[in-house]
Structure 1
Amino acid sequence: MSIKSIAAKVFAKKIVKQTQAWAMHPAESQQKVFLSLIADAKNTDFGVDHNFSQIKTFQDFAKQVPIRDYEDLKPYVEKVVKGQENVLWKGKPLYFAKTSGTTSGAKYIPLTKESMPFHIQAARNAILHYIHETGKADFVDGKMIFLQGSPILEEKYGIQFGRLSGIVAHFVPKYLQKNRMPSLETNCIEDWEKKVEAIVEETFTENMTVISGIPSWVQMYFERLQQKGGKAVGDIFKNFNLFIYGGVNFEPYRAKFENLIGRKVDSIELFPASEGFFAYQDSQKEKGMLLLLNAGIFYEFVKSDEFFNENPRRYTIAEVEVSINYVMIISTNGGLWGYNIGDTVQFTTLKPHRVIVSGRIKHYISAFGEHVIGTEVERALQEAMQGTTVRVNEFTVAPQINPVSGLPFHEWLIEFENVPENASAFAEAIDDAMRKQNIYYDDLIVGNILKKLVVTPVAKNGFQDYMKSIGKLGGQNKIPRLSNDRNIVDQLKTQ
């Protein structure tokens, strides 16, 4: 065992002890964050406009600060983008993370000197929790790769702009610099396909022990490795035993990954976003990710089935329950206030508070009142695949409201790696799993409002071709699991 791995175990023990101190006192941890945020921002434009000097309690805050999305906050953000100080947070932000918006085009999320360190600490602490629980630390001596966006940044008004993953690349700790791949030159390649090819060439002969990224894009990297080497990724990288991912649920990809790797490897799930690093998987034994309650973020939660009510109730961490679908609202030391990030979560445990990401409040199907969410379609597909040789590369689901004939239905577009031996039986298995999970969907089937779902195969690389056609191949871009319209599926069917 190396000195580096021994040191990692000692440090891991310390961090886990510190984590337990705040995680087992959730209400107190959040109250401390809340009061600190209000005090630090009371003299900003936003703080003055919303009477922060008079806010003493969460109830005061909820009265003064409505729930907002990016469009609502945009007038303040635009002032900051133009170089004004003390608008949403004291001073100027260090960076703006540029993300893809929907109605607003590009979104610019501020990252401040107070918020930026938590993005780095959280990713580090996730690995340290893994080391502490499993005792595995030898991987710290090998090479690690993080598939991410370009670290090239632009500067305007003294503030640098770029993709979050590219910004974070500038903060890799010194003790990881020698282990980290790919090279800066390769990381700066903008074209994703060329970048992957260059990463393959750089890493092929290295001792890769940790690989990290969004599953769909890591899968593309693995496929290229397999093509080059003519063997499983696990045979190319014999000491690769830890996969770190975020952004999407890994379960639909797990069978394909195990086939590409040639064996099972441990995994750690992260919940990062430009708006903040919210949670990480702190245990290989427990379901869900530990919500970070002391990381400069104050959380509120609104039940998703009440979210579009005129005045929905806003819950604090002390009031949440397990297994309920909540929209997560945040206020941060980056200058976001009552901000709806769009993600929905469910708590799996309390004290410590662990969550799973259940979907997006805008990504659902409810064309007939069925209220289908992301976790339901992912679980249904996973159940249908159990005990079969079926493997799936990617999928998305949308309603078909006006079929040429017969009843409406949900259409599942699936890119198969291994196709089902009996396609109709496979579709039936998905449908059965959906009906068991969602009583509204089941009622619509029983009542002959909907017919059973239809699976439409997508050609090999169809999803990659679609993402390339809209300029979103690679990086942090993801295919929505669900859409309440047919914009995506209709384009996929023309690929």
Structure 2
Amino acid sequence: MSIKSFAAKVFAGYIRNKIDKWADKPEKTQQRVFKELISKAKNTQFGRDHDFKNIHSHSDFIKKVPVRDYEELKPYVDEMVSGKENVLWPGKPLYYAKTSGTTSGAKYIPITKESMPTHINAARNAILCYINDSGKADFVDGKMIFLQGSPELSEKNGVKLGRLSGIVAHYVPGYLQKNRMPSWETNCIDDWESKVDAIVNETVKEDMSVISGIPSWVQMYFERLIDKTGKKVGEIFPNFDLFIYGGVNYEPYRAKFENLIGRKVDSIELYPASEGFFAFQDKQDIKGMLLQLDSGMFYEFIREDEFYSENPKRLSLSEVETGVNYVMIVSTTAGLWAYNIGDTIQFTSLKPYRVIVSGRIKHFISAFGEHVIAKEVEEAMQEAVNETGARISEFTVAPQISPEDNSLPYHEWFVEFESEPEDLDKFAQIIDQSLQRQNAYYLDLIEGKILQRLQVRSVPQNAFQEYMKSIGKLGGQNKLPRLSNDRKIADKLNEII
């Protein structure tokens, strides 16, 4: 064992103890965070507009601060971006994380001097918890690659602007600089395909021990490595033993990754976003990610099935249950207040509070009232993969409302297989039966002959990459929506294939 790996184990134990202290007192921790947030921001423009000086409890907060999404908070953000200080948080932000918007165009999410460390510390703590849980630390002596956006930043009225992953690249600790890959120059390449080729050339002869990124883009990196060498990834990198991912559910990719690597490797799931680093997997043998309660973020939750009602109930942490879909609402040291990040989560544990991401509140299929969500389609896909031995690269689902043969409508699954099942009809049947078990509305529509059984359509290799390229979102932190309530993606895919 090297000095570096020994020190990592000692530090990991120290950090684990610190985490356990706040995790064991969740409500008390959240109440402290809430009071600090209100006190710090009471003299900002937002604080004055919402009478923060007279907010003393969560019920006061609910009365004075409505839930908002980005479009509704945008007037305040626009003032900040124009150069005004003390709008949502004291002073000016350190950065704006630029993300793709929907109706509002580009979104500018503020990152402040108080919120920036929480992004860095959570990523570090995820790795340290893995070391403490598994006892494995030798990987710290190898090379580590983080597939991310360009670290080159622009500026807007004195505030740096860029992708979150590019901003975070400026905060890689000194002790990791010699281990970190790719090089700064390669990381700055904008064109994703050129960037992946450059990363392959830089890393193919290195001792890679940790690889991190969104699974779909790491998959592309692995395939290029195999094309170049004719070897499995695990043979190219014999000491590669840890995959760190976030952004999408890894389970549909797991079988393909194990085939590309040639063996199983440990993995850590993260839940980062521009708005905050919300959770990470802290135990290898327990489902769910530890919700970050001591990171300058106060959480509220609204049941998904009540979210669009006239006055949905906003729950505190002490009021949630396991197995229920909630829309997560956050207030943060970045100046986001009762902010709807758009994600739905489920609690897998309440002692401590662990979550899984179940989908997006705007990403679902309910063209016929079925309200099928991402978690349900991913679990159904996983069942089909496990039972048939198929391996998939990517998939998405859209409603087919008006079939050309005038038959009943159905859900159309576009699937890119690495290894197609022997019986595609059986594959579709397994998925359909799983959805019927998970979703009573879908079952009723099938039994009532409103919908026919779903259909699986096999698409050519790289079709999804071509789709993402066609809309200017190839690579980086961009993710393909699992579900659509319309056929925009389906129609574009049909043009490509």
- How far off its partner does 1:261 sit? 0.1
Matched, 1:160 2:160: yes
Pairing of 1:64-75 with structure 2 (within 5 A): 64-75=64-75
2:415 maps to amino acid: I
Name the counterpart of 2:193: 193
1:482 alignment partner in structure 2: 483
Amino acid at match of 2:467: Y
For each residue in 1:361-398, what CA deviation from the matched residue of structure 2 results, as whole angstroms up to 9, or x when unmatched? Answer: 00001111111110000000000111433110000001
Aligned to 2:112: 112
Q: Is 2:117 the counterpart of 1:125? A: no
The answer to whether the 8 A contact 1:458-1:493 is kept is no
Q: Which amino acid aligns with 1:33?
A: V
For residue 268 of structure 2, give the secondary structure of its aligned residue in structure 1.
Answer: strand
Verify: 1:313 aligned to 2:310, yes or no.
no
Partner in structure 2 of residue 491 of structure 1: 492
| Cα deviations by residue, 1:384-441 (Å, 9 ceiling, x for unpaired) | 1114331100000011111122100000000111111111111111111111111110
| Alignment partner of 1:361 is 2:358 | no
Unpaired stretches in structure 1, ≥5 consecutive residues: none
Do the aligned residues in 1 keep the contact of 2:388 with 2:427 (CA within 8 Å)?
no
User: Which residue matches 1:332?
Assistant: 332
Residue identity matched to 1:317: L
Check if 1:12 corresponds to 2:7. Answer: no
Deviations 1:9-55 (A, max 9, x none): 00000000000100111110100000000000000000000000010
* Matching of residue 136 in structure 1 with residue 128 in structure 2: no
**Offset, 1:70:** 0.4
Q: Write the deviation string for residues 63-99 of structure 1: whole angstroms up to 9, x where unpaired.
A: 0000000000000000100111000000000000000
Partners in 1 of 2:370 and 2:324 — Cα distance? 17
Counterpart-to-counterpart distance in 2, 1:423 and 1:386: 14
2:302–2:326 CA contact under 8 A, matched in 1: yes
- In the alignment, what sits opposite 2:298? 298
Number of aligned positions between the proteins: 495
2: CA distance, partners of 1:430 / 1:157: 51
Q: Show the counterpart of 2:341.
A: 341
Q: Which secondary structure state, in structure 1, belongs to the residue aligned with residue 18 of structure 2?
A: helix
* Structure 2 letter corresponding to 1:69: D
Match of 1:382 in 2: 382
Alignment of 1:235-246 (within 5 A): 235-246=235-246
- What pairs up with 1:271-282 in 2 under 5 angstroms? 271-282=271-282
SS at match of 1:478: coil
The amino acid across from 2:192 in the alignment is W
Map 1:466-481 to 2 at 5 A. 466-481=467-482
Separation (CA, whole Å) in 1 of partners of 2:90 and 2:339: 18
* Partner SS for 1:493: helix
**1:200-229: per-residue Cα shift (whole Å, max 9, x none)?**
000000000000000000000000000111
Equivalent residue runs for 1:194-273 within 5 Å:
194-273=194-273
Deviations 1:439-460 (A, max 9, x none): 1101110110000001111111
1:36 aligns to 2:36 (yes or no): yes
Structure 2 residues without counterparts, runs of 5 or longer: none
Q: Say which SS state the counterpart of residue 319 (structure 2) adopts.
A: coil
Root-mean-square deviation over aligned CA pairs: 0.5
| Native 8 Å contact 1:302 1:326 kept in 2 | yes
Q: Secondary structure at the match of 1:494?
A: helix
State the alpha-carbon separation in 1 of the partners of residues 152 and 208 from structure 2.
25
- CA separation in 2, counterparts of 1:387 and 1:328? 33
CA distance in 1, matches of 2:278, 2:88: 20
Identity of aligned residues (%): 69
Alpha-carbon separation, structure 1, partners of 2:321 and 2:309: 20
Distance 2:457 2:384 in 1: 15
* Conserved? CA contact 2:154–2:161, under 8 Å: yes
Equivalence for 2:442:
441
Q: Read off the aligned partner of 1:51 and give its amino acid letter.
A: D
Residue 152 of structure 1: SS of its match in structure 2?
Answer: coil
Q: Is the 8 A contact 1:25 1:351 kept in 2?
A: no
Q: Report if the CA contact (8 A) 1:112-1:334 is conserved.
A: yes
CA distance in 1, matches of 2:318, 2:222: 43
- Once residues 248 and 129 of structure 1 are traced to their aligned partners in structure 2, the CA distance between those partners, rounded to angstroms, is 21
Q: Which residue of 2 aligns with 1:24?
A: 24
Partners of 1:327 and 1:362 lie apart in 2 by 11
Asked if the contact 2:151–2:169 (Cα under 8 Å) also holds between the matched residues in 1, the reply is: yes
